[in-house]
Amino acid sequence: MRFGFEKAKKFTRQLREAGKAGRKPSFGRLVDIVKSGLRYRLSPLEYYLYGFDADGITRKKRLSYLSNERIVSVFRPALNNRRWISLLENKLLFFHYYSQFKLPVVNVYGFYYPDRGFFLDGTSLRGKDDFVKWIKQSGIKDLVVKPVGSLGGKGIKIFTRVISPELALGNDGKEYTFGEIFSFMNNDIATRQPHEDPYRGYIIEAKISQDPVMNVLSGVSLNTIRVSTIITKHDEVLIDFAMIRIGKAGSLTDNLHQGGYVVNIQIEKGDLDEKTFGYKGKVGPWIEEKEQKLKRLFTKGRIPHWDAIISLAKKTAALSPELRSVGWDIALSKEGPVLMEGNDNWDMVIAQVLAGGYLTERRREILREYGLEFPM
């Protein structure tokens, strides 16, 4: 009973949000939204995101979209063993596992948690003094401090230059003392992380030197390519979906929640689609087409080093036996593709906004192998 009540509240809230976004439904449209919720498990948000408010939407097209409810409750549990998902969620585990296969991953220096932190050489990292001592000895010139389990880019601080053993220059152009940096991390660990992150603590890692071809908006964010893989029951690794994420000028991250842009990538050759999307307003959830045409900023409208990117995604997927559907975030450094992280929840809703319904005939065949049958 409570589950049904919570769903009704969410349904009503999304209808109100639709009204605020200028999409207040007529009575006939409201009936159609309710029917879509009952028949296809689609929320009001998905109804509008997928364009079901347009005239002439067929039943076949509606059934090609996989609702977020089914993504969460059916699709992901069937393809990804929940006991393995921590390998993706925990950035320290991610680094340790995939670095063993000599994959190009971000170099992690240490893990910070008050009174229990450590550098990877086994020395202590329990506070600012340990860190300053390490800075003096290592000669590191730039670094990133990142929550070990955060989502959406929250809590990340990028430092482009270590000015002295007590001072660093941030990606935002401001100078920070290491005392301020550790106060920030301690506060985040104590206040935000217990409520939002599956793990607590920070990793200290190297800063990626981005290939200039990826800095198309002359911003400061590290722009990444998400390549989703799916592994068939016969252990064939296939590329399922791809998109590029670009941070807006002045943004510190490429995340949609920070005003970033996304564009669908045609997986055959790495060609970008014409349309660029982003959140309406500052944080969404409404995704809309933007005037910015990112395709035109890339040579021939194509992602560079595409074959190397695809090869890295496939190799990483093949080394993840209990994770059959993952979105791999890959950066393009001056030395080539770098594996940043993997995502069990790789934003299939956004993928369907960009590229259409997920349930193509080929994907239905693959999912049938896992015992998943969806209405046609």
Distance from C-alpha of 108 to C-alpha of 199, rounded to nearest angstrom = 17
Tokens of residue 166, six digits? 């007590």
Q: Grade residue 282 by pLDDT with cuts at 50, 70 and 90.
A: low
Distance from C-alpha of 361 to C-alpha of 138, rounded to nearest angstrom = 54
Q: Report the chain's mean pLDDT, rounded to a whole number.
A: 91
Per-domain residue ranges for the chain? Answer: 2-63, 107-205, 212-369
β pairing state of 261-266 and 224-231:
unpaired
Asked if pLDDT for residue 121 goes beyond 70, the answer is: yes
Q: What is the pLDDT of residue 270?
A: 97
Distance from C-alpha of 162 to C-alpha of 219, rounded to nearest angstrom = 20
165: Cα within 13 Å, side-chain hemisphere: 12
Query: Which residues on neighbouring strands pair with residue 264, listed in sequence order?
Result: 243
Among the CATH numbers 3.30.360.10, 3.30.470.20, 3.40.50.300, 3.40.50.10860, which is that of 212-369?
Answer: 3.30.470.20
pTM above 0.75, yes or no: yes
Distance from C-alpha of 277 to C-alpha of 354, rounded to nearest angstrom = 8
Q: What is the pLDDT of residue 151?
A: 76
Asked if pLDDT for residue 148 goes beyond 80, the answer is: yes
Residue that has been written with the tokens 């896992």 in this structure: 370
Out of 159-163, 209-213, 247-251, least confident range: 247-251
Q: What is the pLDDT of residue 257?
A: 76
| Mean pLDDT score, 249-268 | 85
| Mean pLDDT score, 2-8 | 63
pLDDT per residue as tens digits for the range 317-356: 999 989 999 999 999 999 999 999 999 999 999 999 999 9
Distance from C-alpha of 61 to C-alpha of 65, rounded to nearest angstrom = 7
Cα distances from 271 to residues 58, 263, 287, 305, 340, in angstroms, run 29, 10, 22, 12, 22
Q: Grade residue 4 by pLDDT with cuts at 50, 70 and 90.
A: low
pLDDT per residue as tens digits for the range 166-176: 999 998 889 99
Distance from C-alpha of 192 to C-alpha of 178, rounded to nearest angstrom = 20
Angle of CA points 13, 17, 22, to nearest 5°: 150
